[in-house]
């Protein structure tokens, strides 16, 4: 626990600076790195069970790393130079994707053939995870994006913390014993309340410190929906770990495990908040 707290204390200020102060291309580079490592962790977890050849893993990592800068460039297309850059990125992306598909088909002639079950794992690691994480880039590049991009961060951190401390304090009834034995019904409820309360407090801070008007009812809806999705994302990746018979996806982050252990909820929460912000603006 001590290591976990120290790591969080060191990473939170850096994360806040990348999200709030630094230009969007720094966030893009960070998400690209996170997506690449996360895709490797998922492929490794699955490969221990499915024994995938090395080449598809390499293609998957490269595709995952390429998606965030492609999305960032897509938001920037306002000139011929940016259009060319975007086209080049897409070209490389499709070449890698074609190589991945060709490798999959040719593997049927090999003794180390790819199994059909590995295809959804590869697509999830190469495309779905990096694309969903890249919605943070979309939030950051919106008007007042430096404020909007913090919404999924606040709701994720507060939901996770609220669920954990409520579960430790008063948790008795197991919520999902076959997926995540430590989760309790009381902890899940505490997480929902903490997530909604966290965004409400964030809205009050914005109302006091900025000139923007805040729609509190919509912000509370953000919080409840975001908290539900946060807990669901954690359960999904806990289920994958159980199926792959592993405790953590890695040990890159002391006290937290791997990249996917830390960003599993964000993979689901970020696109949800992006969709809510787009359809029902609260700020």
Beta bridge partners of residue 176, listed in sequence order: 180
Alpha-carbon span 47 to 152, nearest angstrom: 31
Would you give the DSSP letter of residue 251? S
CA 251 to CA 31: how far, in whole Å? 19
Q: What's residue 109's pLDDT?
A: 55
Give pLDDT < 70 ranges for the chain.
1-4, 48-54, 78-86, 101, 103-118, 255
pLDDT at 105: 62
Per-residue model confidence (pLDDT) at position 181: 79
Residue 275 confidence (pLDDT)? 93
Predicted confidence (pLDDT) per residue in 142-168, tens digit: 989 999 999 999 999 999 989 988 988
Phi, psi of 257, rounded to the nearest 5 degrees: 100, -135
Q: Nearest Cα to 26, choosing from 37, 36, 14, 38?
A: 14
Nearest CA-CA partner of 43 in 133, 134, 120: 120
- Distance in angstroms (rounded) separating the CA atoms of residues 188 and 267: 19
Reduce the DSSP state of residue 181 to 3 states and report it.
Answer: strand
Residue-level pLDDT at 81: 59
List, in sequence order, the alpha helices (H) in 78-134.
Answer: 80-106, 118-123, 129-133
pLDDT of 85 reads 67
Using the 8-state DSSP alphabet, how is residue 126 labeled?
I
With residue 184 as reference, give the H or E element that holds it: strand 180-184
What is the predicted pLDDT for the residue at 188?
A: 92
Residues 6+ apart with CB under 8 A from 12: none
């Amino acid at each position: 626990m001590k290591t976990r707290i120290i790591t969080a204390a060191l990473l939170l200020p850096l994360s806040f600076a990348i999200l709030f102060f630094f230009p969007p291309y720094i966030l893009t580079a960070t998400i690209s790195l996170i997506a690449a490592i996360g895709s490797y962790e998922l492929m490794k977890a699955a490969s221990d069970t499915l024994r995938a050849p090395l080449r598809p893993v390499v293609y998957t990592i490269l595709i995952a790393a390429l998606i965030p800068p492609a999305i960032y460039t897509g938001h920037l297309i306002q000139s011929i130079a940016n259009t060319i850059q975007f086209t080049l990125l897409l070209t490389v992306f499709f070449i890698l994707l074609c190589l991945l598909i060709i490798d999959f088909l040719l593997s049927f002639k090999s003794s180390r053939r790819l199994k059909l079950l590995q295809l959804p794992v590869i697509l999830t690691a190469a495309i779905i995870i990096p694309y969903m994480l890249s919605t943070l880039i979309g939030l950051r590049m919106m008007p007042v994006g430096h404020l909007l991009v913090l919404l999924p961060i606040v709701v994720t951190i507060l939901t996770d913390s609220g669920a954990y401390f409520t579960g430790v304090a008063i948790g008795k009834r197991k919520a999902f014993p076959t997926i995540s034995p430590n989760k309790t019904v009381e902890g899940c409820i505490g997480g929902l309340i903490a997530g909604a309360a966290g965004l409400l407090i964030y809205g009050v801070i914005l109302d006091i410190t900025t000139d923007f008007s805040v729609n509190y009812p919509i912000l509370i809806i953000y919080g409840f929906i975001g908290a539900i999705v946060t807990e669901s994302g954690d359960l999904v990746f806990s289920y994958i770990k159980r199926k792959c018979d592993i405790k953590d996806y890695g040990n890159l982050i002391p006290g937290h495990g791997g990249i996917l252990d830390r960003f599993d909820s964000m993979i689901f929460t970020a696109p949800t908040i992006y969709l809510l912000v787009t359809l029902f603006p609260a700020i």
